[in-house]
Amino acid sequence: MSSQNIALFDLDHTLIPIDSDHEWIEFLVRHNLAGDPEAVKRRNQEIYDKYTQGTLTIEESAEFVLSFLAMHPPYDLARYHEQFMQEVIRPAIQEQAVDLVREHHAAGDLCCLVSATNTWVIAPIARAFGFEHCIGTTPEYVQGRYTGRFTGVASYQAGKITRVEEWLKPMGLALKDFEKSYFYSDSMNDLPLLEVVTHPVATNPQDSLRQIAQDKNWKVLDLFA
């Protein structure tokens, strides 16, 4: 049994009131960096709608989202991401969300951001919140370029449990070793992980998740109310 507690956090609509994946593509469209603007915007919205409905497969999402990493050299991507952070992400980060993460760090909890969004997009956002540990879907990188595919298990739906356990294993730990395990999420897609932690927190939840949280007597937290 670990003497620490563990606190896991979803990102999109949980710690920030936007979807970083969706907004990243919108950013590229605005700056003419994504091909046919109308076609890309339309497909981006279709992907987002399927995600919120719980019908999106990770393969369908990755084929679309990761294609834009393959479209540009890493040097250019880094410049674009810095601009994305400045224009979109930092204005969306609110003090109460930063304070929530800070409280768990101050308590000595093992904290990790766990998002279905790819690590290339979320790693700088994780650092902005003070996370040392960050789990996301891993984009494949070969010979100095992103390929447009992902590697390993995607951190999506039940895959989040797999990825958290993979992250903990080299530390000689598993989720069951923590007396208290917290997971903050807004999304029905995260039900698998919410159901295995000791302290699930429905955070800014979708209506369907809010109802489940009420039925199961889970804590409901509205950060952005």
Catalytic residue among 12, 21, 109, 190: 12
SS3 146: strand
Q: Is 76 a catalytic residue?
A: no
CA distances from 212 to 24, 54, 171, 199, 200 (A): 30, 15, 33, 14, 11
Catalytic residue among 10, 21, 186, 190: 10
Contacts of 76 (CB under 8 A, 6+ apart): none
CB 24 within 8 A of CB 199: no
CB 76 within 8 A of CB 120: no
**Percentages (nearest 5) of helix, strand, coil residues in the chain:** 50, 20, 30
Helix (H) or strand (E) holding 7, with range, is: strand 6-9
Look up residue 222 and give its two tokens.
Answer: 């509205």
Q: Is 177 a catalytic residue?
A: no
131: Cα separation from own chain's centroid: 13
Look up residue 15 and give its two tokens.
Answer: 């710690």
**Closest CA relative to residue 135, chosen from 95, 175, 84, 107:** 175
Catalytic residues: 10, 12
